[in-house]
Structure 1
Amino acid sequence: MARQRLFKSILAVTTTGLGVYAYDSNTEAQLVTRNVRTFYNGIGLAVDYKLNFKPGDLSSMEAVHERVANRIYDVCERNGGLYIKIGQVIGTQAAVLPAQYQKRARKLFDAAPAVPYSVVERVFQEDFGVSPHEIFKEFDPKPVASASIAQVHKAKLHDGTVVAVKVQKPAIRKQMDSDLLAFRMLLHLYERLFDLPMVFVSDYVEKHIRMEADFEREAHNSMIAWKNLQKEKTLNGLVYIPKVFSEIGSKRVMVAEWVDGVQLTALDKLKAMGASPAQAMQVTVEAFASQIFKSGFLHGDPHPGNVLVRKHPHKKNQFQVVLIDHGLYIEESEKFREEYCRLWEAMFLLDTKTLNEICQKWGINDSNMFASVTLQKPYMPSKAPHLAQGNVSFHDAYEMQMSMKTRIRNFLVNQALFPRELIFVSRNMNIVRANNKAMGSPVNRINIMARWAVYGLESKNKEKRGIRDYLKHSWRLVLFETTLFAMTVSFYIVKLTEKANQIIWGKASQGFEAVLDARMKEQLQQQFGIVLDESVFDA
């Protein structure tokens, strides 16, 4: 009897579980399915590390890292939605995670599947009480693009204006709480497994992911960003942000002016259009540098699909850079913005006193390491970085990564002081750097940003200076310009050397950013103990 009752109980639980699973698998949000998948794989990777991770046994360690990285990113890809964003956030920690994580993280930027038009109609009925064809003169049911949380349709207003209609996938709202809970759990797990500070960023990142899913906020972001750019006379007419039609929007639907353009890094299309890749990249770097150092209102996702180039609608033979997708923005505090400007100025003046003071205010103990990460090039104020590439054995790499845990803990001595803005400022800078590299490094990105850092200080401090401050500032400016000139010379020496190698030896050109990547990789290996995959710097 006892066995029969046990058998019936197991059968009932199994049948109920299968029924719930079958039902949930056919729902839009698939909350049970996605959470079970996450929970199952979470236990699996924890057990894998516990049983099979053997410090000193290099082959088994590498295999465990490979299996766990594949398991985590497979979950992100299969669950989709916010898991794609979560996986990308984990990927931004690639510099201090094993190379296997670096390789898999790059696969999360592929296009996401679109939802059927019937689902789009349902969103319009729920938000506006009408179908898309009752709001628009024309509405293409086939999306032109699909991303992790939304897809875009081309439409036409009744006055003939062509617009882009961004429609949120309805499952996102239902999945958000459980997905972000999984994100927190994943950060806790990573912090425990790798003994690295990661959980402290969760509140800030979660807040901005939630904001990104609010299209009314995105519309507001785009209008604020456009007003800020219009204040910059040097960018007037060179940068454009499409108009938003807020009167026909909601938290899940945004309507904006349609813009025909080509992606920033599509070199063949740029040249066919008659646009200069160098000029397009120059304007792009200037636009984002103005946001970082002057307005303090920054686009958090400037990948090539969000930066377009088009022919200027009013000026013949001129072109405009068009910035789209303004969902992920951060607003820097004035204190952070000014300190970040001062930090960049200090790095170029080799002012270690100021550099150390700012780093200490931010809870950072290793100013040289932080400067290297900020510039995305080796920073050694006492010694110029060497171009030679060092060879590091796998055993040495393991030893250095083990000692890196202590260094990272010492690097960030006070997590409470660390400016959360740096999370997305660093993301913006790394993507812009990768865009420049993909185009063959047509511009000296670091010099451009350094100059905007000084502009950011000038805009606030110009009125306050007396004669003594003016003379001091003038002298610092001379030193600053001298450093920029030296870097400009280095930039063109690299370009001329690569051109000569291309002509004489037939070697492919790498570009200035690739040279900086090589230097950075070498320093991270030799000085900081971080071992990187070859293309970790690519977006």
Structure 2
Amino acid sequence: MSRSRFTRRLFPLLTAGVVGTGIYAVDNWTDAKLIQRNCRTAYNGMAVAIDYKLNFQPTADRDIRPIEELHKRTANRLFDVFEKNGGLYIKMGQVIGTQAAILPLPYQERARRLFDSAPAVPFEAVERVFKEDFGCLPESVFDEFDKTPLASASIAQVHKARLKNGDIVAVKIQKPAIQKQINTDLFCYRVLAQVYEYMFDLPITWSTDYVEDHLRMEADFECEARNAMKAWKHIQDEPRLRGKVYIPKTYPELSSKRVLVCEWIDGVQLTDTASIAERHLDFNWAMKTAIMAFSSQIFKTGFVHGDPHPGNVLVRSHPDNPKHTQVVLIDHGLYIQESEKFRIEYCRMWEALFMLDIKTMQEICSSWGIHDANMFASLTLQKPFSPEKALHIQQSVDMRDVYDMQMNAKERIKHFLKDQSLFPREIIFVSRNMNIMRANNRQVGSPVNRINIMARWAVIGLNTSTSKGSWLQTVRLSWKSFLFESTLLLMTVTFWMVRFRDAVGRVVFGNKLNGFEDVLDKKMTEQLERQFGIKIDSSVFDG
């Protein structure tokens, strides 16, 4: 080959290399890094799809190891993309995590590791956001501004500051790249959902529109300020919570879509029992009050906080009476508003679960496009449900092999969500709220009977919507109320028996503390595997 011919062939390759390097350098210099993130998503998405297409099949000798290894490497690949891309990918991974029970066990394990934290951006980026949104630097607005963030999450970081009038405030500042990334990130989320729906042959895309709308709202801090004010009004309107629960004041005049200024709260996380004890506060009361607050949202107001992890539920001394405890709810970016129809039906569902009113359960599930009322009941209560008894206790039965078990699980789930158009989208974030609160309670030994508290609020929410009728209707309601209270009493007796057993075991034998939530988790795990063919890691949603 002549030298000139070799040069002609080499020149296009060198040109492509130089152009590619230049594009990478420019993209790497920007905050958004759109090209790198999208290429990473596309490459790994295709790799996972091809891997499953080629390798998800039973082996001749029924060896389960190849399928387990397949799930493990694809889960690692997928969640590595979420963690490396950061930003809204963290949020999207968390949404997938809330539905991880329908995915293989390695996906559940990786979802548990996807924490809502990320490196902070430098203070120069904070100044740039202020300059773009307010036309000035932070020192023009605040008398003092701590340049070191106190916390950094997926889409924002928080700084402590002092206003010129002396108020101490928390300043939540969105990372500059988020608004540039949001459209492409959500587009990739849609594509990934479609790929995995095809790959797993499972109903996944039915929720993408609803999830996308709420992720966009979460990235709008003016919306978060409105959510906080609306949630505060509901607390003030509820005598059972007024004074016990507090939501920090917001400063709308100092806020924008990317900057939120709100009252600084000196509190400790709900699950930090040591710090709560040091402050001589009542931890059990705080946990009960927190569960009451979120139950009132789910069953009475229909305006539900979508992310009540321990960092968003603080405990402090009551400012008007330091000897009393007060619960403070923060971070109001992710809220949903239930339809009144769903709220009432969900209250009726919970009442029917405790009354063992199978006919009502099946009617509601059918109207929601759910074809397995018992499975939905178990997932709703987060404990095993059987039409014959409140706590279904049986040992797990091993299935023949992993492939058969997962194929059976897939068919059950496809049947469960056969009519996706009817399924209430509100359940996505209502279930997330309940899962996180369950994990909060479980993490500290289950000091509170969460299920009973939620059931009582379901009846409160139902009574709020029920007008008084004839004397005969009043008698029927009284009889239903008696049966309902009897069921709650049995649950309460079981709850305290478990606590007594654990206390004796801890004192006499030095056993590790296992609370009521642990008992329910164990039974739930057994039933899902035995009855529905779903193998689940019970700690997926732990805080």
Same fold (TM over 0.5): yes
TM-aligned CA deviation for residue 236 of structure 1: 1.4
Q: Secondary structure at the match of 1:346?
A: helix
1:446 to 446, 451, 461: 451
Measure the CA separation in 2 of the matches of 1:336 and 1:322: 27
TM-aligned CA deviation for residue 471 of structure 1: 1.0
Q: Secondary structure at the match of 1:320?
A: strand
Corresponding residue of 1:15: 18
TM-aligned CA deviation for residue 5 of structure 1: 4.4
Corresponding residue of 1:203: 209
Whether the aligned pair in 1 keeps the contact of 2:116 and 2:154 (CA below 8 Å) is: no
Corresponding residue of 1:180: 186
TM-aligned CA deviation for residue 384 of structure 1: 5.1
Q: Secondary structure at the match of 2:113?
A: helix
Could you report, residue by residue, the CA deviation over 1:211-240 in whole angstroms, capped at 9, with x for unpaired residues?
Answer: 000000000000000000111101111100
Distance 1:523 1:397, change over 3 A: farther
Corresponding residue of 1:421: 426
Measure the CA separation in 1 of the matches of 2:158 and 2:457: 34
Whether the aligned pair in 2 keeps the contact of 1:296 and 1:333 (CA below 8 Å) is: yes
Could you report, residue by residue, the CA deviation over 1:159-190 in whole angstroms, capped at 9, with x for unpaired residues?
Answer: 11000001000100000011111111111122
Whether the aligned pair in 1 keeps the contact of 2:386 and 2:392 (CA below 8 Å) is: no
Equivalent positions of 1:64-75 (< 5 A) are 64-75=70-81
2:380 to 374, 378, 389: 374
Task: Give the partner amino acid of 1:416.
Answer: S
Measure the CA separation in 2 of the matches of 1:53 and 1:132: 55
Task: Give the partner amino acid of 1:399.
Answer: D
Distance 1:251 1:71, change over 3 A: same
Corresponding residue of 2:42: 39
Q: Does 1:529 align with 2:533?
A: yes
Q: Does 1:512 align with 2:516?
A: yes
Equivalent positions of 1:204-219 (< 5 A) are 204-219=210-225
TM-aligned CA deviation for residue 10 of structure 1: 2.7
* TM-score normalised according to structure 1 size: 0.97
Corresponding residue of 2:347: 341
Task: Give the partner amino acid of 2:55.
Answer: N
Q: Secondary structure at the match of 2:385?
A: coil
Task: Give the partner amino acid of 2:198.
Answer: R
2:238 to 232, 235, 242: 232
Q: Secondary structure at the match of 2:158?
A: strand
1:326 to 326, 332, 339: 332
List alignment gaps of at least 5 residues for structure 1.
Answer: none
Q: Secondary structure at the match of 2:262?
A: strand
List alignment gaps of at least 5 residues for structure 2.
Answer: none
Whether the aligned pair in 1 keeps the contact of 2:90 and 2:116 (CA below 8 Å) is: no
TM-aligned CA deviation for residue 148 of structure 1: 0.4
Corresponding residue of 2:441: 436
TM-aligned CA deviation for residue 396 of structure 1: 3.6
Corresponding residue of 1:490: 494
TM-aligned CA deviation for residue 110 of structure 1: 4.8
1:167 to 154, 173, 183: 173
Could you report, residue by residue, the CA deviation over 1:260-289 in whole angstroms, capped at 9, with x for unpaired residues?
Answer: 000000011111111122111000000000
Measure the CA separation in 1 of the matches of 2:322 and 2:122: 41
Corresponding residue of 1:79: 85
Distance 1:212 1:430, change over 3 A: same
Measure the CA separation in 1 of the matches of 2:424 and 2:535: 26
Corresponding residue of 2:58: 55
Q: Secondary structure at the match of 1:234?
A: coil
Measure the CA separation in 1 of the matches of 2:148 and 2:391: 52
TM-aligned CA deviation for residue 2 of structure 1: 7.1
Q: Secondary structure at the match of 1:114?
A: coil
Q: Does 1:277 align with 2:315?
A: no
Measure the CA separation in 2 of the matches of 1:32 and 1:13: 16
Distance 1:389 1:266, change over 3 A: farther
Corresponding residue of 1:406: 411
- When the two chains are superposed, the root-mean-square deviation of aligned CA atoms in Å is 1.4
TM-aligned CA deviation for residue 295 of structure 1: 0.5
Measure the CA separation in 1 of the matches of 2:66 and 2:188: 28
TM-aligned CA deviation for residue 158 of structure 1: 0.9
Measure the CA separation in 2 of the matches of 1:343 and 1:42: 39
Q: Secondary structure at the match of 1:111?
A: coil
* TM-score normalised according to structure 2 size: 0.97
Q: How many equivalent pairs are there? A: 537
Whether the aligned pair in 1 keeps the contact of 2:174 and 2:259 (CA below 8 Å) is: yes
Q: Does 1:352 align with 2:358?
A: yes
Could you report, residue by residue, the CA deviation over 1:320-379 in whole angstroms, capped at 9, with x for unpaired residues?
Answer: 100000000000000000000000000000000110000011000100000000000001
Task: Give the partner amino acid of 1:403.
Answer: N
TM-aligned CA deviation for residue 47 of structure 1: 2.3
Measure the CA separation in 2 of the matches of 1:207 and 1:388: 41
Measure the CA separation in 2 of the matches of 1:2 and 1:434: 68
Measure the CA separation in 1 of the matches of 2:167 and 2:37: 41
Distance 1:331 1:312, change over 3 A: same
Measure the CA separation in 2 of the matches of 1:390 and 1:4: 69
Task: Give the partner amino acid of 1:322.
Answer: V
Measure the CA separation in 2 of the matches of 1:471 and 1:490: 29
